[in-house]
Structure 1
Amino acid sequence: MSFGPPPSVYTQSTLAADKARQRRRTWLLGAGAGVVAVALCAGGWLLSSVTDGGASDGTKSSAAPPSPDDIRVDTEKTPSSPEGQMLIDYKEGGLAKTAKGDPVYAPGTWATDKVVAKGITDRIVGLTTAEKGPEKAWTLKLDGKICATSNHITVDGRTAVAVQTRKAQGATPGVCGEVVFFDVDTGRKLWQAKMPAATSATVTNTNLTLVKGTVAVAWGDGSVAYDMKTGKQLWNSTTASQCEDKGFAGGRALLVVENCVEAGDKTYRVEKLDPRTGKSRWTYKLAAGVQDVYLPSSDPPVLAVAAGDSLVTDLITLDGDGRHLATISMNGYDPKCGDRDFGLDYFGVVEHCDGVVVGRTQAYVVSKDNTAVGQAENWIVAFDLRTGRTGRKLDGRSTMPLAPIRMSGDELLVFRRSYSEVEPSAVVSWNPRTGSQRPFLLFGLPADDVGKLGDVGQTDILVEKGRVFFAKRELEAYDKYPTDPVLAVLGIGSAGLNH
């Protein structure tokens, strides 16, 4: 299937420089800011901090209960029994009609206590997690193919996708020009908005994220933010500038990666923005020679940078005011930034580092695979965000690799894949303070699909409300049985879990 023409070659207007960008921050939205620049010797990184006179909220947490617009950060309760049972076995048919070697893309997976939703080309399918009743709860038909998704979902179960513009509007084929905000439990479309001047937005450069009350989208040549409740545009940046928004990271805060052209050289900087106004709170400028930047966490701010290489070489941790804390070498580790779907820059890549999970005080990174016979295939190491020092290590097992999934309170949920018919695959909960681990769910995976289902580079793996879901990002017909439906989503719950 085709997503239309690729984005145009990156060009730069030297006339507008940063003035147009500042116009978004000030003319549209209010007061200017003072600038404080501090040179940092550690790692050669330069910090530029922009403040608005208010106190930073970067490392503070609120004791108030979450609002419906907050981004969901669940702490899982251990199921009463770790013995797993199948809840969902959803298969997608009709794949034999697609061109050979051209997979059906299935971006985006979201789960609540009632439904797991899966994006498939130009629709989203909601599957019930109840033991009884129809497997498919709803289908939301979209006007075009999905271009970008986010892992984030609100406390009350809403999320967004960017899609190709409606054909009826006479748009250029392949342009990703609309945002759809919907309810995951019901499949109801809450609003749909057109992205301004998004003529260069395609599946390879569009990035979407959520932060409290706000949906933000960037596509290189521009960016826009919408109010969650109404779909009303809050701010946008669509004019020529020296720096362009590559993509956002959301969740507890809103960060943006910008690529800039200065004296003919491309450099990067990261800004923290006020989600409601787009105004910059601080700026962290990266040194020359950085090839790419990812944002595995917005709060605490953690940057994954490829310095002098196309692969990520370091994690950079910042405090709540954007000041440098530590630079952590990724030598021997595999943060898996930009690795999804064989390195294709589809559906938004800025937030996705599948080998890294960031907690409030530590980052957990998976090692590169170990090929030594009889030893752990890989392991996960905790790094202190303030000092960069290593903490405890969680070892995998021989032929049973580990993948960090997400935080659950102060513990890390980890998927351990097994190819054995004797020892099951598992999700385990690891306490990095004590080094102890306990089984969360134990289960088997289909032998024909265990390789793809267990690969975080090809499959979304979610843990939600005592259940684990595996959802493929690409669907292809079986070579031997091309007309057979193909497993798309697998859901597993506890045999002792009350539904």
Structure 2
Amino acid sequence: QPPTQPGYGYPQAQPPTQPGYGFPQQGQPPTQPGHGFPQGQPPTQPGYGFPQQGQPPTQPGHGFPQGQPPTQPGYGFPQQGQQQPYGYPTAPMQPAAPYPPQPGGNGQKKFSTQAQIIVAAVVAVALIVGGGIWYASKDGDDKKDEAGSSAGTTGENKGGNGGGKDGGSTGGGGKEKAPANVESTVGFQLPQPKVTDVTTVSGSWVTDKAYVKTGVNEIVGYDLDKGTKLWSIPLEGQLCAASEHMSKDFKTAIAFEETKRSKTTKYAACNRIGALDLATGKLMWSKQVTASSSGDSAVRFDEVTVSGNTVAAGGNDGGAAFKLDTGAELWKPKVSTDGCYDKGYGGGEALAVVRKCGSYDDPQLIIQALNPTTGAPISSYKMPPGVDYASIVSTKPLVVAADVGDTAGDGSGISDFFSIDEATGKLKIRISADAEKYAANCRSTKVESCQHLAVGNNRIYLPTEEHDGTDESISRTNEIVSFDLTTGKQTGDRADAGEKFTMFPLRMDGGNIIAYREPPYDKGGEIVSIDGSTFKQTVLMRNPADEAIRDAETSFSSDYAEFRYEQGRFFISETMISAPRKSTYDDKEYLVVSFRTS
């Protein structure tokens, strides 16, 4: 879910303004600023895959040419050297390098012995200098506000009860049930299409009849079990953003480039919004928007979402919205006297926006719950100083993530969660989420991009960072824990991944949490349902331990992949592909890998 901004973390030593998505090549004039953009500044930030110059590499955004995510041996694989202790400050999750991410997953082959020794040596020295293992909560004293704040606890609670006086009703109501036989088989595997440059392929949906995935200049529907092509929706240009939300009758929205890429046009403008009917495999409509402040130039968009019958798209030119069924325009960017514009929207059960005001050097972010038909604000909450970017985790309840003052330090884009009353705009509680303990992440410059977490039962569910296991052999593991969205306190919820496994939430299923257990070097991954009341885990799917199948499953980096589990079928897919890489391992590169239970 993660596409046009510099990426995790705030760009360092960055020029005051940057070119927008599809910005003309050097020697061509830029377009005019969009909706309410601060005056006297060039219009937009770097767009999908636009080569940036004059600034040091930063954590790349979704769609930007990115460095290879760190690859490690499979969890539980015997490793040389000393392991990093649980709670010790970790390295950034994504390196900043101008290359696309490469598959690696948890496969042990890609992390050399020499690299392991170097990492172990660095950790050992750091431990000596630091005087041991630090695993303590931040005191949060510098993060007080009118509603108070709550620092994350050490997670020592072993209880499995998700209920209690602080939370509302929890658990139950899930549709996903364990089959008689949880052992899965491979459904299908799709190879990556051949491309010559970094290409965004985010967007995957599961309907009652098809698994739908973005390809090259098309959206393709595949048979759920066989993977045979059912239909294809051709696009005028490559997809650049996709909503993760669908209507009940399988309609969704995308943003795509105005023309196909070529040797002379490597990066086209992301300025078309379209609605897809995934039940019939049709493009219902597509639109461009011309803003009053941009003359004849079409507004560029960074992301798109769906809430009810509203499609909302935002970016540095401002925000626009349309009716999902007809494409009728609901609103579009306009000049703002207060210097504000809609940066991006969060959809799903409700519609919310991150509105950016102020100057580039001193931005002010406002979170608003919106009327999805008119765009009128229902409530507003002003984010505290030191917040340059914010991500909407959930719209109902309204939960926002931010890296306040760039204090996370790990590239996750999260130092705090803000639980906001969507009706009044009042802050319920601010939850400090120590980046050294919790492993969720948001592409901070994209509004709707958070991964590896879930919101439900008036709680936010987070994975802990991986840490040493209890096995005599060197192994890694972690847990899923939760915080109450009213009190901000950590609850007694705790689900252990198990020795050599790590796990993270995929989504809510009624009051239950669907989670993926990433496999070690000698087992297959698992899908589990965690009861929201008891936190008891039920295995829904166990994938094969066969080496070739396991290598395919772990060839994806979890930070750059989409995971979809529905009714006994599990799909893992890439969000970005690039030209075939040269590797001494001759590894296969997949667009999609799927599993199914009988």
The match for 2:511 is: 410
Q: 1:469 aligns with which of 571, 582, 587?
A: 571
The match for 1:288 is: 385
1:235 partner letter:
W
Query: Structure 1 230/172 Cα, relative in aligned 2: closer, same or farther at 3 Å?
Result: farther
CA distance in 2, matches of 1:308, 1:484: 41
1:112 partner letter:
T
The match for 2:341 is: 244
1:87 partner letter:
G
The match for 2:38 is: 12
Q: CA deviation at 1:491?
A: 1.8
Q: CA deviation at 1:41?
A: 5.2
Q: CA deviation at 1:316?
A: 1.0
The match for 2:487 is: 387
Q: CA deviation at 1:399?
A: 3.0
The match for 1:221 is: 317
1:81 partner letter:
N
The question of 1:179 aligning with 2:273 is answered: yes
CA distance in 1, matches of 2:591, 2:584: 16
Q: CA deviation at 1:120?
A: 2.2
CA distance in 1, matches of 2:174, 2:357: 37
Q: CA deviation at 1:235?
A: 1.5
CA distance in 2, matches of 1:172, 1:158: 30
Q: CA deviation at 1:452?
A: 3.6
CA distance in 1, matches of 2:270, 2:543: 39
Q: CA deviation at 1:278?
A: 0.6
The question of 1:135 aligning with 2:135 is answered: no
Q: CA deviation at 1:79?
A: 2.9
Contact 1:304 1:316 in 2 (8 A): yes
CA distance in 1, matches of 2:178, 2:364: 45
Provide the TM-score with structure 2 as the length reference: 0.65
CA distance in 1, matches of 2:558, 2:340: 32
**1:240-295 deviations in whole A, cap 9, x for unaligned?**
45211111000011000011106962111100110100111100011111132111
Q: 1:425 aligns with which of 525, 531, 536?
A: 525
The match for 2:540 is: 440
CA distance in 1, matches of 2:190, 2:280: 18
The question of 1:336 aligning with 2:441 is answered: yes
Q: CA deviation at 1:450?
A: 3.6
Contact 1:376 1:398 in 2 (8 A): yes
**1:129-166 deviations in whole A, cap 9, x for unaligned?**
145xx711111110011121111111111111101124
Contact 1:268 1:285 in 2 (8 A): yes
Contact 1:306 1:312 in 2 (8 A): yes
Contact 2:572 2:592 in 1 (8 A): yes
The match for 1:479 is: 582
**1:405-444 deviations in whole A, cap 9, x for unaligned?**
00011110010011333x3310000013112111011113
The match for 1:188 is: 282
Query: Structure 1 242/371 Cα, relative in aligned 2: closer, same or farther at 3 Å?
Result: farther
Contact 1:217 1:225 in 2 (8 A): yes
The match for 2:78 is: none
Query: Structure 1 432/376 Cα, relative in aligned 2: closer, same or farther at 3 Å?
Result: farther
The question of 1:92 aligning with 2:192 is answered: yes
The match for 1:257 is: 354
The match for 1:66 is: none
* Other structure's SS at 1:448 match: helix
The runs of 5 or more residues in structure 2 that have no matched partner are: 5-20, 25-29, 41-144, 151-167
**1:24-74 deviations in whole A, cap 9, x for unaligned?**
xxxxxxxxxxxxxxx825259xxxxxxxxxxxxxxx99xxxxxxxxxxx98
The match for 2:108 is: none
1:63-102 matched pairs, under 5 angstroms: 75-95=175-195, 98=196, 102=197
CA distance in 2, matches of 1:12, 1:320: 27
Q: CA deviation at 1:201?
A: 5.3
Query: Structure 1 104/178 Cα, relative in aligned 2: closer, same or farther at 3 Å?
Result: closer
Q: CA-atom RMSD, angstroms?
A: 3.3
Query: Structure 1 161/279 Cα, relative in aligned 2: closer, same or farther at 3 Å?
Result: same
Contact 1:376 1:397 in 2 (8 A): no
Q: 1:356 aligns with which of 438, 445, 453?
A: 453
CA distance in 1, matches of 2:272, 2:198: 23
Q: CA deviation at 1:398?
A: 3.5
Query: Structure 1 395/294 Cα, relative in aligned 2: closer, same or farther at 3 Å?
Result: same
Q: CA deviation at 1:237?
A: 2.4
* Other structure's SS at 2:357 match: strand
**1:193-240 deviations in whole A, cap 9, x for unaligned?**
1133374855xx611000001101011222111111111101122324
* Other structure's SS at 1:457 match: helix
1:4 partner letter:
G
The question of 1:367 aligning with 2:464 is answered: yes
Q: CA deviation at 1:479?
A: 2.6
The question of 1:144 aligning with 2:237 is answered: yes
The match for 2:220 is: 125
Contact 1:478 1:484 in 2 (8 A): no
Q: Which runs of 4+ in 1 moved over 6 A?
A: 6-10, 481-485
CA distance in 2, matches of 1:245, 1:263: 15
* Other structure's SS at 1:277 match: coil
Contact 2:503 2:518 in 1 (8 A): yes
1:181 partner letter:
A
Query: Structure 1 12/103 Cα, relative in aligned 2: closer, same or farther at 3 Å?
Result: closer
CA distance in 1, matches of 2:239, 2:352: 23
The match for 2:501 is: 400
The question of 1:314 aligning with 2:427 is answered: no
CA distance in 2, matches of 1:146, 1:430: 34
The match for 2:257 is: 164
Q: Identity of aligned pairs, percent?
A: 27
Structure with greater strand share of residues: 1
Q: CA deviation at 1:93?
A: 4.1
* Other structure's SS at 2:389 match: strand
CA distance in 2, matches of 1:183, 1:409: 25
Q: CA deviation at 1:124?
A: 1.1
Query: Structure 1 87/449 Cα, relative in aligned 2: closer, same or farther at 3 Å?
Result: closer
CA distance in 2, matches of 1:279, 1:494: 46
CA distance in 2, matches of 1:142, 1:272: 32
CA distance in 1, matches of 2:470, 2:587: 37
* Other structure's SS at 2:273 match: strand
1:183 partner letter:
D
* Other structure's SS at 1:291 match: coil
1:472 partner letter:
E
CA distance in 2, matches of 1:172, 1:83: 44
Query: Structure 1 355/486 Cα, relative in aligned 2: closer, same or farther at 3 Å?
Result: closer
CA distance in 1, matches of 2:331, 2:266: 24
The runs of 5 or more residues in structure 1 that have no matched partner are: 15-38, 45-59, 62-72, 340-344
The match for 1:278 is: 375
* Other structure's SS at 1:77 match: coil
